[in-house]
Structure 1
């Protein structure tokens, strides 16, 4: 057992600052002297530790000292064989998993509600997507997780697939039967990859669903900055070396990860790992009590509903992450984006996202009862003021688009821009998604069907945030010529 009290990178950073080194390297602000206004606001320590790679602080692309030791501690804390610090966000960790396991012409099975980073990885790798259909929730208006049956169906149609990507959990907390799915992948000689962007905390308390490493996955991408306490953009990639070479994975990382990594990010990963390893269990017990308290109070407010553990057993919800506090207010006449805006503008409460019917709060290590009390009070006030008739948008007969070209082929194809209403049957040359969470409604290489057009119009009607296309209003779409 390693000493999880240690913080090799953070300790080296503090030692460097205490030496009062005269910097003739980059960055150009030279410990903040060249960015005085910023330094005056954020303080000396932050600017003095915004430094470049050097021997005392190790090198992220080829670590041999303090970063190597910190990554070893990371791997042990998460039950992995290898751990890698990622400073390009979990999007990059997801891309690394895909690029390390499939290449041009290979097939990879993934859920249709996968994050856009996976689609971007298909453009980079040239791999062919085989989509599984997640289970749909008509009341919430969202997709939940995939089932073993949906994986078996995809594999039966494409038995030459080389890898499977699983989301653990979805944005709204739905968890699949991960261990059974991972075992199926390995039985059929496929890599099991886990997008664990919203499940970093799973590994550190047995009351949560299994983590990717606990389930035996080959790789998992964990967003420590989302639910683990590190700074925004810092993440980690975890690896079991049974089927993959850790040195090769490092090479894939070094293809695209910056050669000028922020030590503020790296140091925060080091400290966040220590906190999770030593105190994560107790901290997460507290957050579970906060989540239960919040959910019970919200469900007692007229017109509000927060999905919880009662959903376990429904299609696509084998297990549930209670730290995902999704508030549905359609019964009081408010859609999710309206609630999202109202909470921010009138009550100074920033939710994670809003969609057609829901507004999502994410509870994590920094939350406490005072936070959720403010949210509960706001929802009670909103309930008194907005008891209107239930919102029921026209029901869309959801049909996932047909994949005609690989994302890479569509990305580089000759294109033209046409009005949205004229796109029926055309092949999309861009990826259009609601953000957050960044799940494509239509992606590169898919044939646009009536369901897609209706979804885009619904997002626009409900004031949802659409991104990814060249036309920010989505009045026109770029298609393959």
Structure 2
């Protein structure tokens, strides 16, 4: 199968003529231009009744905030302009079929798991996957078979899965119904998906990919190829993250016959709103057109800026960025992601975030040793120059104890190896009560503990809280990390199973 970008380069004039259209957006504009009399929801009636203070800001969008009326199709039974927009997206992204999502990649991940798993069935998943994958498993009452990710020794962060680990797991669990992995990671690290797909398909099951941070993949020669271009059966992309759609807009792409699409569409209909936002849907239509028609030129401008920034940052001894190496644990690296890896004891990631925000630079993600900057086609030369000016101006004291080269590997990797005492859904259905976090060692977790961002659970319901897990949770609590999934956001207490 040809890569997506090669396929598009070889496309004729008819392809580009089709892709310059935005049928859903254009239908909304045409309807608004009729100056209709709206006796339907929503109640603001195309902006005629709206908060006066905010009306000036919202008014350009409100005439497009419509519903399933004649000529505007229905997301859950697309036969008109939504069907046309999704078909154009499938063509652009190299899929056989594409579905628009207004519940984010979360909705797509959950729906895929509900489509491939029935209660009690196994699914192989990457242990550092997003919380939505765990939520899908809980709803499906499926049995997760974890594969621990490789850890990058240079930065200490979990990267992707090894093919040999997945193959061994499938040999041990031949009744698994699918493999679900994340590619790329939040930090932009990726694996060779083409080879991974070949391994998974030898067992006759689908490869499902959470590609939330890869909606731009395959649209420029300097970017990795997409999951669809690499043989995956399904991928879910957050078109709002690295693309230009509005927040919570994603796409689900499909290829092949290994996924029961009827079950998938049924699941999407159950977990997504029956009244989806038309401005959000139209932004997906426009984001697809923008990436094809304008995105490549914008990437031609942005990528050299980021390359130059990396070269300049290499002169700062207290800072490092991930580098592709021949024997590394990841084989692709998104050039739009800048993971600042701190190599000094004089500054934490949280302190660096505070410095950056003093100069109106707002990072995507921060941890004790890392700060992640996410660029895009919308990143300007002024943005990049400002980052360099601020980082270059930081003067670390020579008495800081020197620069550190982090020794990692077993510690972070073993974090993912908790004893699963009972199924997640059973733990959530059981009687639970809170106890002080300090007293929780040896108890069974009754809730999901999720540092956010990035939204990867460090502890899931039904796992035993061992000494290492407790120490990690206490350390995160001291750092005042935000948590999702817990009843006590301060993590002073934690829910356990009785």
Give the TM-score range, shorter chain.
over 0.9
Tell me if the contact between 1:312 and 1:319 (Cα under 8 Å) persists in the aligned partners: no
Contact residue 303 and residue 387 of structure 1 kept, 8 A: no
Partner deviation per Cα, 1:219-247 (whole Å, 9 max, x = no partner)? 10011101111100011100113223434
Alignment partner, residue 372 of structure 1: 384
Range 176-185 or range 231-240, more displaced: 176-185
Query: Any gaps of 5 or more consecutive residues in structure 2?
Result: 1-13
- In the alignment, the residues of structure 1 paired with residue 290 and residue 104 of structure 2 have an alpha-carbon distance, to the nearest angstrom, of 20
Tell me whether 1:477 sits opposite 2:494 in the alignment. yes
- Of 232, 236, 241 in structure 2, the residue corresponding to residue 217 of structure 1 is 232
1:359 matched to which residue of 2? 371
Q: Partner of 2:216: helix, strand, or coil?
A: helix
SS of residue paired to 1:100: helix
Report the equivalent of 1:447.
464
- 2:335 corresponds, among 310, 322, 333, to 322
2:436 aligned with 1:419 = yes
Q: Alpha-carbon deviation of 1:367? A: 0.7
User: 1:308 aligns to what?
Assistant: 323
1:460: Cα distance to partner?
2.4
2:216 equivalent among 177, 197, 201: 201
SS at match of 1:361: strand
The two structures have a TM-score, normalised by structure 1, of 0.94
Distance in 2 of aligned mates of 1:402 and 1:216: 34
Contact map agreement 2:184 2:190 (CA 8 A) in 1: yes
Structure 1's 386 and 119: CA in aligned 2 closer, same or farther, altered over 3 A? Answer: farther
Which position in structure 1 is the counterpart of 2:21? 6
Instruction: Tell me whether 1:334 sits opposite 2:347 in the alignment.
Output: yes
Residues 157-213 of structure 1: CA deviation (Å, up to 9, x unaligned): 322111101211001111112111111111101210000000111121233222111
Q: Is the 8 A contact 1:164 1:191 kept in 2?
A: yes
Aligned residues: 478
| More displaced stretch, 49-58 vs 166-175 | 49-58
Q: TM-score, length-normalised on structure 2?
A: 0.91
Q: Which runs of 5+ in 1 are unaligned?
A: none
Residue in structure 1 matched with residue 4 of structure 2 by the alignment: none
**Contact kept? 2:205, 2:258, Cα under 8 Å:** no
The answer to whether the aligner puts 1:435 opposite 2:452 as a matched pair is: yes
Change in 2 beyond 3 A, CA 1:46/1:418: same
Q: How does 1:11-30 map to 2 (within 5 A)?
A: 11-30=26-45
1:53 corresponds to which of 62, 65, 68: 68
C-alpha distance in 1, partners of 2:399/2:197?
Answer: 46
User: Structure 1's 17 and 147: CA in aligned 2 closer, same or farther, altered over 3 A?
Assistant: same
Match of 2:189 in 1: 174
**Residue of 261, 274, 277 corresponding to 2:289:** 274
- Of residues 397, 400, 405 in structure 1, which corresponds to 2:422? 405
- Contact 2:115 2:261 (8 Å CA) reproduced: no
How far residue 43 of structure 1 moved from its aligned partner, in angstroms, is 4.4
Q: Taking structure 1 as reference, are residues 18 and 456 closer, same or farther at Cα in structure 2, changes over 3 Å only?
A: same
Using the TM superposition, give the Cα deviation of residue 349 of structure 1 relative to its aligned residue in structure 2, in angstroms.
0.8
Alignment of 1:39-118 (within 5 A): 39-118=54-133
Deviation at 1:446, TM superposition (A): 1.5
Matches within 5 A, 1:211-250: 211-250=226-265
Q: C-alpha displacement at 1:389, in angstroms?
A: 3.6
What's the offset of the Cα at 1:312? 5.5
Provide the rounded CA distance (Å) in 2 between the counterparts of 1:151 and 1:443: 21
How far apart, in 1, do the equivalents of 2:327 and 2:445 lie? 36
Deviates more, 1:48-57 or 1:352-361: 48-57
In the TM superposition, residue 125 of structure 1 has moved relative to its aligned partner by 0.6
SS at match of 2:235: strand
Q: In 2, distance between residues paired with 1:246 and 1:312?
A: 39
What is the DSSP-based 3-state SS (H/G/I as helix, E as strand, rest coil) of the residue aligned with 2:170?
A: helix
Deviation of the 1:332 alpha carbon: 5.5
Q: What SS does the corresponding residue of 1:237 show, helix, strand or coil?
A: strand
8 Å contact from structure 1 (residues 126, 408) kept in 2: yes
Instruction: Give the whole-Å Cα distance in 1 for the aligned partners of 2:336 and 2:391.
Output: 18
Q: Distance in 1 between matches of 2:173 and 2:419?
A: 15
Change (3 A) 1:424 1:281: same
CA distance in 2, matches of 1:142, 1:387: 28
Decide whether the 8 Å contact of 2:152 with 2:328 is kept in 1.
Answer: no
Match of 1:270, SS state, is helix
